[in-house]
């Protein structure tokens, strides 16, 4: 559960496509489902809008993990946005290894606007995974901001 | 331009679509809904996507409902029913009875305090029907509320910060003048208890397709009712209540083959070890993109041509399904832990009543009768139109299309 | 940040719900310390009439130029606050919302942590607000005229409906006559109307309407322009015609093909396609001898077509009634999921049509002594091998896209599904939309639709067009996606990436330009541009970066 005092509290930047994950998150709220409070939702109109720059910036600014949450395949509101998001995430994953960030810290998931339980499952599992990995290795290296 | 008014009876996806199409063309709409909230059956359906969308369009329903909820040209009259209609196309005078819902949807902010203080437990006697409900207002459960059972409790009424709760409120009569009427009051789900040998209501691990929808929507998974564990061996039985002359349902309900296959894929996506069997008569695989989906299903799902006649309980967690295996020419009994009855679409039980009020004919099998096979949104009465499953079984994309067509026809009465 | 920002922060308690586990007063005091926050209030029902009016006056009186809300989800309140801002003279796009109810208070039970997160969310929203820029809204005019490509049942129906809604329609047909597959059909049973009578009715309706222009032996060569204002170059009998249209409907129908290679089956005098059988039923001359036993083979060319099942049922019943022949229908699965089909099936059975079901093993079909021998594993007889012979075997065909579908797809720049039919299988496009605004597809050119569904599809397309252009005007957000011409190298990446073909080359500026009416606001172009020449107002790098700043900040 999120209030575990024994492990560090991960900060996760969750880029949420408004038409899918953002609405699913709202639904999870209406159902009063609990999830890790280290998850910060950044609203985007489409997962395809999230650039490599934004993902790396998130890590730079102190995210321990980054999630990109997109519409299910073949159901993107803007037709091809989720495909582009996947390509971009795959591209950035190759960089992460080179700069010493574990690839498990960046993940893309597909879900629909009415899949509140899946939203909760995905973010909670990510939070657990990040807790096991520990704080992002970048945080130690960044001096001031 | 003077706003022309249309009455839409029924707030399911077809009615909602008609209302939105008319609103987009600048009309004013009264949407009358019998329940406290709109959305119809489809609002309680779940997404069955794996990583890939299954193209069922369920996710569109909450979106459309919300659009209706905030649209300035659409007036929602919930817990309301049509009692009487007089007049003719271009000048209908409609009497609506708005039943008490005790919670005023215009004042309720869905804060939830009433539910918290309600002394009745599990479930509470006042609650939000489900997240994303439109209008977003709490609903009193008449069977569980102490006040409505004759007791003195008014705690929720006292604690409500906006004064939205009023147990002394009585029904209201509303008169509307409209130019056209669209009937979109949907369908009833076939009651699986009518097929007693299939054990629904008797054995806990026999569920219907609708039960599956509701559980997946809330929990995102299905667990065996008998022991709370994930199922290992699931059987879907198709055509329950459809294609069945004996009970007067000599038609295909259209949606069941598709939802069974979508659930099957979802179950296996969540647990690749789970065995799934689909017992069918004729697989309905026509539909954009569905052939390819079925080809993928064939790889891991067992399809058996033959409908089981009986289900019995071997043990609390195990069911025996008896069917005629056509390929072997004999009766076979096999065990499964979860059986899902793919129940179909039937006309509303009160369709006859509403048809009488409207002066509109019922057709085959008790659905509302379209004027001809081609003009199936028009009826025998000018100015009254049909949208969605009230006219015959449809899936969600088709209900949306049909609602659109009803709006197209209704507009002609107005211009 | 464009100017000196003066931010108004409006916190909402949502009926005392949010403050149950979030210390809003504490957050309010903290926010008051921020230098460019000119106003902070806490209210119980920010969306109420009274509070909205109060918000409006506070914006005007205090000269606030940004609004930040801490409350429920934008999906519920965004529209209301944008309207309030507009009424008070502030551009409605200068709004930033922190969702502290649905995405904080309701999902994080502990008060300290929920408060800490909510504070952070509000600061993220404030930080983003500083970078917000106004977006202007304008109306543009839209041409109400419509071009319909294809004069079959869907195209004709769309034309008639649109004409009755006062749109001028140009109906293009490649052949010499309108009608498409209606010319091939023998019957529309259980509809009593014959195809010929229906066709005559539709053509009469079209001729009667002054605002439908029919161009036969005509094809589309090219289109230019954009939704609301397309320019079409048409060729008719070798002469070019140009027309201006606001919307285009593709209703080119489908074709059929018998895949001989699949089964090594050759068509012959007594192995014919369903299309050929329809022709035989229509004409009297083709019958030298009435076949005593007619077989219909389904599910060997196209297992997923309802059209084939309907043809077999209709024509099988017709053959039985007309000639008294024995009629067999061989199939894997009968597609009966449309109105009246179950009834048609039972009627056929009641009148003596015999149905055989085969499973996954394909039947063997072999000509022998002037007849056709069919051998199959009969599913109803425990897979017993059954042999019959027919005088005539009618085989199903694969439903395929109309010839030249790829050419039309390229001309229009619209999408195909994996089988080559128009409109990819994406629920957001159903029923008749394409990836491009203003271009629709209807009928069997987009899905396996039998005649009555194809007709309904034509109507749906008419309604979709009407809804788009009935007023002759449309609202646009002016340059929400804006290209910096100085940075643009005309690499055309954005043009290729835009899923809606909403970007074109502005030759004057030598840069890409987003067509506001066609733009759907996804921002993919901005994300793809290698030169960062495109910014997406509301989601600029600064706005996103400003939110990310708070990931590690202390309160």
Q: Which of B288, B328, B342, B365 is the best mutation test for C, with the most CBs of C within 10 A?
A: B288
Contacts of C88 (CB under 8 A, 6+ apart): C55, C56, C57, C59, C60
Residues in B closer than 8 angstroms to C467, CB to CB, are 21, 24-25
Percent of chain A at pLDDT above 90? 81
Residues in C closer than 8 angstroms to A79, CB to CB, are 415, 424, 426, 435, 499-500
Nearest CB partner across the interface for C107, out of A3, A29, A61 = A29
**Is residue A144 situated within a structural domain?**
no
Cα(B213)–Cα(A25) distance, rounded to whole angstroms?
Answer: 19
**Is residue A47 situated within a structural domain?**
yes
Shortest Cα–Cα distance, B139 to chain A (Å)? 15
- Residue C97's pLDDT is 98
**Is residue A72 situated within a structural domain?**
yes
Query: What ipTM describes this predicted complex?
Result: 0.93
Cα(C269)–Cα(C265) distance, rounded to whole angstroms?
Answer: 13
The b-or-e profile of B37-47 (16+ CB within 10 A means b, else e) is bbbbbbbbbbb
- Per the CB < 8 A criterion, the answer to whether B311 and B339 are in contact is yes
* Residue A102 structural domain: 12-133
Report residue B70 as tokens: 């905030």
Shortest Cα–Cα distance, C488 to chain B (Å)? 36
Residues in A closer than 8 angstroms to B217, CB to CB, are 114
Q: Do C103 and A45 touch (CB under 8 A)?
A: no
Q: Which chain C residue has the Cα nearest residue A1?
A: C108
Q: Do A79 and C415 touch (CB under 8 A)?
A: yes
Residues in B closer than 8 angstroms to C357, CB to CB, are 305
Q: From residue C547, give the alpha-carbon distance in Å to each of A35, C267, C337.
A: 21, 68, 51
Which residues 45-84 of chain A have a CB within 8 Å of chain B?
Answer: 71-75
What is the pLDDT of chain B when averaged over all its residues? 92
Contacts of B299 (CB under 8 A, 6+ apart): none
**Is residue A4 situated within a structural domain?**
no
Number of separate domains in chain A: 1
**Count of A–C CB contacts within 8 Å?**
130
Which residues 368-407 of chain B have a CB within 8 Å of chain C?
Answer: 372-374, 376, 392-393, 397, 400-402, 404-405, 407
Nearest CB partner across the interface for B132, out of A27, A73, A121 = A27
Nearest CB partner across the interface for B109, out of C14, C383, C460 = C14
pLDDT tens digits along B215-240: 998 899 999 999 999 999 999 999 99
Interstrand relation of B80-88 and B91-98 (parallel, antiparallel or unpaired): antiparallel
Helices marked H in B220-345 — which ranges? Answer: 256-270, 290-300
Nearest CB partner across the interface for A72, out of B51, B217, B219 = B51
Report residue B390 as tokens: 């009230």
Contacts of B413 (CB under 8 A, 6+ apart): B89, B90, B179, B180, B382, B383
Q: Map out the domains of chain C as residue ranges.
A: 7-135, 146-254+401-473, 256-399, 479-536
pLDDT tens digits along A15-43: 999 999 999 999 999 888 999 999 999 99
Record the pTM: 0.93
Cβ-in-10-Å burial (0-12, 13-18, 19+) of C411 comes to middle
Q: Which of C527, C531, C537 is the best mutation test for A, with the most CBs of A within 10 A?
A: C527
Nearest CB partner across the interface for C17, out of B111, B257, B412 = B111
pLDDT tens digits along A70-123: 999 999 999 999 999 999 999 999 989 888 899 999 999 999 999 999 999 999
Cα(B383)–Cα(B412) distance, rounded to whole angstroms?
Answer: 9
C111 SS3 class: helix
**Is residue A140 situated within a structural domain?**
no
Which residues 4-63 of chain C have a CB within 8 Å of chain A?
Answer: none
Q: Right CATH number for C479-536 from 3.20.20.330, 1.20.1090.10, 3.30.70.1890, 3.30.70.20?
A: 3.30.70.20
Percent of chain C at pLDDT above 70? 98
Interstrand relation of B5-9 and B28-32 (parallel, antiparallel or unpaired): parallel
Q: Which of C135, C499, C533 is the best mutation test for A, with the most CBs of A within 10 A?
A: C499
Q: Which of C463, C472, C473 is the best mutation test for B, with the most CBs of B within 10 A?
A: C463
Q: Which chain C residue has the Cα nearest residue B377?
A: C456
Would you state the CATH architecture of domain C7-135? 3-Layer(aba) Sandwich (3.40)
**Count of A–B CB contacts within 8 Å?**
61
User: Is B111 in the C-facing interface, judged by CB distances under 8 Å?
Assistant: yes
Domain C256-399 and domain C479-536, same fold? Reply is no
**Is residue A6 situated within a structural domain?**
no
Q: Which chain B residue has the Cα nearest residue C337?
A: B254
Q: Do B284 and C333 touch (CB under 8 A)?
A: yes
Q: Which chain A residue has the Cα nearest residue B49?
A: A72
Nearest CB partner across the interface for A45, out of C99, C106, C522 = C522
Cα(C255)–Cα(C416) distance, rounded to whole angstroms?
Answer: 16
Nearest CB partner across the interface for B21, out of C423, C428, C463 = C463
- Residue B142's pLDDT is 86
Interstrand relation of C137-141 and C95-99 (parallel, antiparallel or unpaired): unpaired
Chains meeting A at 3+ CB pairs closer than 8 A? B, C
Would you state the CATH architecture of domain C256-399? 3-Layer(bba) Sandwich (3.50)
Query: In this model, does residue A2 exceed pLDDT 80?
Result: no
The tens-digit pLDDT sequence of chain C (555 residues) is 557 899 999 999 887 778 889 999 999 999 999 999 999 999 988 988 889 999 999 999 999 999 999 999 999 889 999 999 999 999 999 999 999 999 999 999 999 999 999 999 999 999 999 999 999 999 999 999 999 999 999 999 999 999 999 999 999 999 999 999 999 999 998 888 999 999 999 999 999 999 999 999 999 999 999 999 999 999 999 899 999 999 999 999 999 999 888 777 888 889 999 999 999 898 866 666 788 999 999 999 999 999 999 999 999 999 999 889 999 999 999 999 999 999 999 999 999 999 999 988 889 999 988 899 999 988 888 788 999 999 999 999 999 999 999 999 999 999 999 999 999 999 999 999 999 999 999 999 999 999 999 999 999 999 999 999 989 999 999 999 999 999 999 999 999 999 999 999 999 999 999 999 999 999 999 999 999 999 999 999 999 999 998 877 654
As a three-state string, the secondary structure of C400-421 is EECCCHHHHHHHHCCCECCCCC
| DSSP assignment of B158-212 | HH-TT--B-TT---EEEEEEESEEEE---EEE--GGGSGGG-TTTSTTEEEHHHH
**Is residue A91 situated within a structural domain?**
yes
- Per the CB < 8 A criterion, the answer to whether C329 and C296 are in contact is yes
Query: Which run of H or of E encompasses C239?
Result: strand C239-245
Cα(C542)–Cα(B109) distance, rounded to whole angstroms?
Answer: 35
- Residue B170's pLDDT is 87
Shortest Cα–Cα distance, A128 to chain C (Å)? 16
Domain with residue A70: its CATH number is: 3.40.50
Cα(C354)–Cα(C159) distance, rounded to whole angstroms?
Answer: 42
Q: Which CATH superfamily is domain C146-254+401-473 in?
A: FAD/NAD(P)-binding domain (3.50.50.60)
Chains meeting B at 3+ CB pairs closer than 8 A? A, C
Nearest CB partner across the interface for B288, out of C339, C341, C447 = C447
Shortest Cα–Cα distance, A23 to chain C (Å)? 8
Does the CA dihedral C55-C56-C60-C65 come out positive or negative?
Answer: positive
Q: What is the DSSP letter of B130?
A: S
Q: From B93, B72, B80, select the one nearest B19 (Cα to Cα).
A: B72
Report residue B58 as tokens: 């369920």
Half-sphere exposure of C377 (CA within 13 A, CB side): 12
Does the CA dihedral A46-A51-A56-A57 come out positive or negative?
Answer: negative
Q: Which chain B residue has the Cα nearest residue C445?
A: B288
Which residues 405-434 of chain C have a CB within 8 Å of chain A?
Answer: 415, 424-428
Nearest CB partner across the interface for C106, out of A29, A45, A50 = A29
Cα(A80)–Cα(A67) distance, rounded to whole angstroms?
Answer: 19
Conformational region of residue C538, where left means phi above 0, alpha means psi within -120 to 50, and beta covers everything else: left
Q: Do C427 and B373 touch (CB under 8 A)?
A: no
Average pLDDT value for residue range B185-207: 96
Contacts of B205 (CB under 8 A, 6+ apart): B224, B225, B226, B231, B313, B317, B319, B337, B338, B339
Q: Do C460 and B364 touch (CB under 8 A)?
A: no
Residues in A closer than 8 angstroms to C526, CB to CB, are 49
Nearest CB partner across the interface for A48, out of C124, C427, C527 = C527
Query: Which run of H or of E encompasses A129?
Result: helix A116-133
User: Is B164 in the C-facing interface, judged by CB distances under 8 Å?
Assistant: no
Report residue B151 as tokens: 């007791």
- Residue B415's pLDDT is 65
């Amino acid at each position: 559960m999120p209030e575990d005092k024994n492990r560090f509290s991960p900060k996760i930047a969750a880029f949420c496509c408004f038409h899918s994950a953002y609405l699913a998150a709202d639904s999870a709220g209406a159902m009063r489902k609990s999830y890790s409070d280290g998850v910060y939702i950044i609203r985007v109109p489409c997962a395809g809008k999230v650039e490599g720059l934004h993902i790396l910036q998130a890590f730079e600014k102190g995210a321990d993990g980054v999630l990109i949450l997109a519409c299910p395949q073949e159901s993107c509101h803007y037709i091809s946005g989720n495909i582009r998001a996947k390509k971009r995430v795959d591209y950035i994953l190759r960089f992460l290894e080179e700069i010493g960030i574990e690839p498990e810290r960046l993940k893309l998931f597909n879900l629909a606007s009415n899949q509140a339980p899946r939203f909760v499952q995905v973010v909670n599992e990510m939070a657990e995974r990040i807790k096991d990995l520990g704080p992002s290795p970048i945080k130690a290296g960044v001096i001031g901001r | 331009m003077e706003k022309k008014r249309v009455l839409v009876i029924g707030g399911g996806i077809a009615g909602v679509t008609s209302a939105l199409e008319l609103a987009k063309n600048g009309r004013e709409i009264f949407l009358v809904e019998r329940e406290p909230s709109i959305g119809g059956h489809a609002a309680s359906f779940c997404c069955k996507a794996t990583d890939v969308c299954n193209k069922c369009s369920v996710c569109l329903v909450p979106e459309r409902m919300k659009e209706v909820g905030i649209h300035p040209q659409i007036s929602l009259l919930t817990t309301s029913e049509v009692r009487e209609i007089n007049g003719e196309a271009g000048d209908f005078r409609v009497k609506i009875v708005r039943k008490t819902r005790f919670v005023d949807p215009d004042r309720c902010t869905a804060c939830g305090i009433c539910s918290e203080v309600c002394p009745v437990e599990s479930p509470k006697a006042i609650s939000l029907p489900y997240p994303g409900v439109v209008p977003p207002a709490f609903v009193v459960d008449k069977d569980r509320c102490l006040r409505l059972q004759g007791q003195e409790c008014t705690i929720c009424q006292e604690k409500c910060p906006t004064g939205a709760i009023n147990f002394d409120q009585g029904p209201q009569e509303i008169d509307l003048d409209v130019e056209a009427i669209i009937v979109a009051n949907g369908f009833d789900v076939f009651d699986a208890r009518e097929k007693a040998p299939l054990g629904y209501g008797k054995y806990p691990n026999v569920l219907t397709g609708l039960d599956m929808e509701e559980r997946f929507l809330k929990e995102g998974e299905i667990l065996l009712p008998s022991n709370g564990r994930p199922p290992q061996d699931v059987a879907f039985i198709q055509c329950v209540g459809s294609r069945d002359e004996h009970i007067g349902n000599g038609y295909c309900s259209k949606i069941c083959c598709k939802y069974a296959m979508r659930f099957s894929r979802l179950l296996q996506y969540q647990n690749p070890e789970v065995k799934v069997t689909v017992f069918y008569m004729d697989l309905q695989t026509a539909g954009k993109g569905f052939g390819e989906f079925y080809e993928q299903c064939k790889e891991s799902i067992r399809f058996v041509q033959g409908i089981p006649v009986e289900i019995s309980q071997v043990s609390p967690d195990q069911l025996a399904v008896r069917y005629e295996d056509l390929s072997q020419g004999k009766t076979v009994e096999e065990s499964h832990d979860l059986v899902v009855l793919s129940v179909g679409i039937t006309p509303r039980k009160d369709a006859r009543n509403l048809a009488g009020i409207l002066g509109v004919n019922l057709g085959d099998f008790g659905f509302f009768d379209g004027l001809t096979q081609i003009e199936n949104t028009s009826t025998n009465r000018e100015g009254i139109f049909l949208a969605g499953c009230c006219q015959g079984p449809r899936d969600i994309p088709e209900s949306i299309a049909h609602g659109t067509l009803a709006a197209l026809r209704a507009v002609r009465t107005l211009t | 940040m464009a100017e000196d920002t003066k931010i108004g922060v409006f916190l909402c308690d949502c009926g005392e719900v949010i403050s149950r586990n979030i210390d809003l007063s504490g957050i309010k005091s903290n926010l008051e310390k921020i230098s460019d926050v000119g106003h902070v209030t806490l209210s119980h029902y920010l969306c109420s009439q009274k509070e909205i009016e109060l918000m409006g006056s506070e914006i005007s009186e205090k000269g606030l130029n940004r609004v930040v809300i801490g409350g429920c989800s934008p999906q519920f309140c965004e529209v209301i606050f944008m309207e309030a801002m507009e009424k008070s003279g502030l551009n409605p796009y200068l709004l930033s919302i922190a969702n502290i109810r649905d995405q904080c208070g309701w999902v994080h039970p502990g008060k300290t942590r929920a408060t800490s997160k909510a504070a952070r969310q509000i600061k993220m929203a404030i930080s983003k607000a500083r970078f917000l820029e106004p977006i202007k809204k304008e109306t543009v005019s839209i041409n109400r005229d419509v071009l319909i490509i294809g004069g079959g049942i869907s195209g004709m129906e769309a034309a008639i409906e649109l004409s009755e809604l006062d749109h001028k329609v140009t109906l293009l047909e490649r052949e010499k006559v309108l009608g498409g597959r209606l010319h091939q059909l023998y019957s529309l049973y259980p509809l009593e109307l014959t195809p010929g009578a229906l066709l005559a009715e539709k053509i009469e309706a079209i001729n009667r309407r002054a605002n439908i222009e029919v161009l036969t032996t005509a094809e589309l060569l090219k289109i230019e322009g954009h939704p609301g204002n397309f320019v079409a170059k048409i060729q008719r009998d070798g002469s070019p015609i140009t027309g201006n249209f606001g919307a285009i409907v593709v209703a080119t129908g489908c074709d059929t093909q018998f895949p001989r290679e699949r089964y090594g089956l050759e068509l012959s005098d007594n192995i014919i396609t369903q299309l050929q059988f329809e022709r035989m039923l229509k004409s009297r001359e083709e019958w030298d001898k009435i076949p005593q036993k007619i077989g219909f083979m389904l599910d060997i060319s196209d297992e997923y077509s309802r059209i084939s099942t309907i043809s077999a049922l209709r024509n099988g019943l017709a053959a039985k009634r007309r000639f008294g022949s024995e009629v067999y229908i061989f199939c894997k699965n009968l597609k009966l999921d449309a109105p009246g089909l179950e009834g048609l099936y039972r009627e056929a059975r009641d009148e003596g049509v015999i149905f055989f079901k085969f499973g996954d093993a394909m039947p063997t079909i072999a000509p022998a002594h002037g007849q056709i021998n069919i051998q199959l594993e009969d599913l109803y007889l425990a897979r017993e091998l059954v042999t019959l012979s027919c005088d005539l075997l009618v085989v199903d065909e694969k439903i395929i896209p109309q010839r030249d579908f790829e050419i039309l797809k390229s001309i229009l720049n619209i999408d195909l599904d994996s089988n080559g039919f128009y409109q990819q299988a994406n629920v957001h496009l159903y029923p008749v939309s394409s990836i491009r605004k203003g271009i629709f597809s209807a009928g069997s050119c987009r899905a396996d639709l039998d005649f009555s569904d194809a007709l309904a599809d034509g109507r749906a397309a008419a309604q979709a067009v009407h809804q788009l252009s009935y007023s002759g005007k449309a609202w646009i957000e002016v340059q929400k996606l804006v290209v910096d011409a100085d940075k643009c190298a005309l690499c055309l990446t954005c043009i290729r990436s835009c899923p809606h073909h909403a970007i074109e080359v502005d030759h004057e500026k030598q840069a890409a330009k987003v067509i506001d009416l066609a733009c759907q606001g996804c921002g993919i172009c901005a994300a793809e541009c290698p030169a960062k020449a495109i910014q997406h107002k509301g989601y600029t790098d600064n706005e996103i970066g400003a939110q990310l700043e708070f990931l590690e900040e202390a309160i």
